[in-house]
Amino acid sequence: MYIKRFVKHYYIMLIPAFLWLFLFSIVPMFGIVMAFQDYNPGQGILHSKFVGLANFEYMFQMSDIAQVLRNTVTIAVGKIIGNIIFPLIFALLLNELALKRLKRPIQTIVYLPYFLSWVILAKIVLNIFGYTGPINQLIQLFGGESVNFFGEAKLFQPLVIGTDIWKGFGYNTVVYLAAILGVDKSLYEAAAVDGAGRFKRIWHVTLPGIRTTVALLAILSLGNILNAGFDQIYNLYNPLVYSTGDVIDTWVYRAGLQNLQYSLATAVGLFKSVISVILIALGYWLADKFTGTTFSSALPVFRIISPFNCQSLITAVPSSPSTYHLGREI
């Protein structure tokens, strides 16, 4: 009886979170009707003229919308691929580090940028790659000429992708390291007995053992394929790089808030959301088809054993016959 009352308190504590979700996430969704209206702020949503799909037709007739979509997909796909491959390689190398006492400091250092907002990081990046910044000073030291990194359109996308990988590098590395530590040690011992070297153990034991985690991160990223990162790009770009740096979010911001084209901006945002939902559903199907693991079975399962001794166990469904432990009792 006491345990039931104890658990009931947790449900009561969830009420503020559900209220926040309802007021700021669910209620604003009714504003999507503006995508089908010639919205006038003076008349409001209820009295603005209904125009059907006219805003969507106008959106696809615009000359710059195709370039904006290309920029968005290019930047987003580059971020997704980079944030999967580079942290994975780094986690494998860090796991094989001979001096284990250096592992935690390195892990902490690469994790630090993840906690900083793009308002701060953008200033750092702008100073580092500025015309008189350390990168250009290094180029001049070797006899080269200074490069205006944020004034040349062709350089902006690689900078955006690279700095985003740098920011999220530590978080994804920690996720992969947790998965690697969960691989059954007896599999490594068996591979070593069979004569497998370090590289073969990584290829035939480690990578198959963490494929569920890799698939999970890829699935979570698919929904962001049309989300190139508004806060990052808005703090880094300028009119000189609009041709390669303008994405859906920044275009909607300028159209909706600066040019007061509310209906058109809502239509573009709704189009983006629908495509994202389709891609997420596609990701679920691909994960189930190629890894045999559904999204729900790949998520960690949190189970409270006893509220009195504060013991908790975090387990994850394994992708191999061995049992993975992503956490430990506390």
The contacts of residue 89 (CB under 8 Å, 6+ apart) are: none
What's the burial of 91, exposed, middle or buried (CB within 10 Å: 0-12/13-18/19+)? buried
- Is residue 218 in a domain? yes
Q: In this structure, is residue 171 part of a structural domain? A: yes
**Distances from the Cα of 187 to the Cαs of 107, 196, 244, 252, 274, in angstroms?**
25, 11, 48, 52, 44
The answer to the question of residue 46 being in a domain is no
Q: In total, how many domains does the chain have?
A: 1
Contact status, residue 247 vs residue 164, Cβ threshold 8 Å: no
Q: How many CA atoms lie within 13 A of 192 on its CB side?
A: 7
Amino acid at residue number 322? S
For residue 170, being part of any structural domain is answered with yes
CATH number, domain with residue 169: 1.10.3720.10
The number of helix segments (H) and strand segments (E) in the chain equals 18, 5
In a domain, residue 206? The reply is yes
Enclosing domain of residue 291: 64-248+272-295
| pLDDT tens-place values along the chain, 330 residues long | 555 566 777 788 889 999 998 998 888 888 889 889 888 888 888 888 888 889 898 888 888 888 998 999 999 999 989 999 999 999 998 888 877 788 888 888 888 888 889 999 999 999 999 888 899 999 998 888 888 888 888 999 999 999 999 998 888 888 898 888 888 888 888 888 888 888 888 888 888 888 888 887 787 777 777 778 888 999 998 888 888 888 988 888 888 888 888 898 889 888 888 888 888 788 777 767 765 555 444 444 333 333 333 333 233 333 443 333 333 333
pTM of the model: 0.76
